[in-house]
Amino acid sequence: MFMLMKVASERGVSLPELIFWRQAMSVPMILGWLLATGNLGLLATSRMGSHAMRATTGTAGLCCNVGAATLLPLPEATTLGFTSPLFAVLITALILRDKVGKWRWTAVALGFAGVLVIAQPGDAPVAPLGIAAGLGAGVIVAAVSFQIRDLARTEAPITCVFWFAVYGALLTAMLMPVYAGQHGSTEWLMLMAIAVTGTFAQFLITAALRFGPVATVVVMDYTSLIWATGYGWLIWDSFPPFTTALGAPLIIAAGLIITWRERNLSRRISPTSSMDVGAIEEMADDTSRDPEREPERSP
């Protein structure tokens, strides 16, 4: 989807147009699928305000993602998208005031070291606006993950996907009188392909999270860097620079450490535990120093 967006932007399609048609065209696709499967009732919700807030934040994140993809080489833009777990840890520590142990802080430091390597500060850096857009996407996607976690308590995944598309289309429709342009049949085919691939990807992610452990699904997301590199070679005849080859493994390693740590911590927390994850993590660190000590649990 992002590869198509990058190609379309090079052919004169503006960013607001890309996002509007990505969202607007997916609405009838989702409605058709729900009608065909007899699940139209899943769209009913009593949390319309929460969906509107999530869509507002998510649309801003999509703008940053698309901006990074159009301003940077695709592998670099994709790699910066992997910073979301790092910002999620920062949000947990600085805004939610939960305790974060040494493992996750180490991962954050490692990940942002990778960002510095890719950005090449002081040495012919890549497009600063593209770097800012990529990091902005990481921040916003991390924030959206908390919103989705809250919505998931009461809403079906397809409900979140549908209302995100509806509100996203409405928000970007306000920009269309200014940014809409005349395009040929090739550009319209690209816009349709963007909507199809984006909607299909959301269905696949929903299915992956339904049938597979979250930790496994998150790890598989890193394979997108392979596709981004392949598209860069096939379409733009370019390979990532040496700095990306150095920085990307650091960011990916940081994400894997956070995923591994969260998975281990979730196993330590009983269903009725009132203890926060940070406290469990500190106990786990203490236990690693003293094998005879077992962490206490809430009744």
* DSSP output for 166-216: HHHHHHHHTTHHHH-----HHHHHHHHHHHHHHHHHHHHHHHHHHHS-HHH
What is the predicted pLDDT for the residue at 121?
Answer: 61
Integer Cα distance of 63 and 133 in angstroms: 8
Question: Is residue 285 in a domain?
Answer: no
pLDDT for residue 268? 60
Whether 281 is in a domain gets the answer no
pLDDT tens sequence across 133-176? 999 999 998 888 888 888 888 888 889 889 999 999 999 999 99
% pLDDT > 70, the chain: 84
Average pLDDT, the chain: 83
The DSSP line for 109-128 is: HHHHHHHHHHH-TTSS-S-H
At residue 141, the pLDDT reads 87
Q: Average pLDDT, stretch 265-283? A: 45
pLDDT at 215: 63
Say if 82 falls within a structural domain: yes
With respect to residue 30, please indicate whether it lies within any of the assigned structural domains. Answer: yes
pLDDT at 110 over 50: yes
Q: Using 50, 70 and 90 to split pLDDT, how confident is the model at 124?
A: low
For 173-229, what is each residue's pLDDT tens digit? 999 999 999 999 999 999 999 999 998 887 787 777 777 766 677 778 888 989 999
Q: What is the pLDDT of residue 72?
A: 92
Q: Is residue 9 part of a domain?
A: yes
- In percent, the amount of the chain with pLDDT more than 90 equals 45
* Residue 107 in this model has a pLDDT that exceeds 60: yes
Nearest-angstrom CA–CA distance, 154 and 151: 6
In a domain, 43, yes or no: yes
Domain that holds residue 171: 2-268
Q: Is residue 209 part of a domain?
A: yes
User: How many domains, the chain?
Assistant: 1
pTM for the full predicted model: 0.78
Is 65 domain-assigned? Answer: yes
CA distance linking residue 281 with residue 130, whole number of Å: 35
